[in-house]
Amino acid sequence: MDDVKIGEILLPGDEETQERQEAKVRSRFWPTFKKAARQIPFSRDLVAAYYCATDRETPFRVRGILLAALGYFVLPIDVVPDILAVVGFTDDIAVLTTAIALINRHIKDRHYDAADKVLADEEPAA
């Protein structure tokens, strides 16, 4: 994922690629999210997308799209550096918004319920 081209970011990849991507997203999502939470206007959707992507009931292709987009969000090297406050997350927002728009019907109420708990400062679920 570190050397992926922007045009390929939303490709779901094969099962091995998804497993690597899921491990990367799981390890980096919460630290990156906490750093960015105040600057992201759609935090609830982002967290719900995380839970959808890590839900084994979510279809393979949908999980792949979300894992790729979330992987882009957690990458330390970015098209626009995230250290540039609000502007730095614009490319992340564009990628995530596109991914969520493509698969939004797969994000279920249970994913939003989990997101609501996290955003209310409760302990994140695994």
pLDDT tens profile 45-99: 889 999 999 999 999 999 998 888 888 877 755 544 544 455 556 677 777 788 8
pLDDT above 70 as % of the chain: 68
pLDDT value at residue 46: 86
Q: What is the pLDDT of residue 114?
A: 94
SS3 75: coil
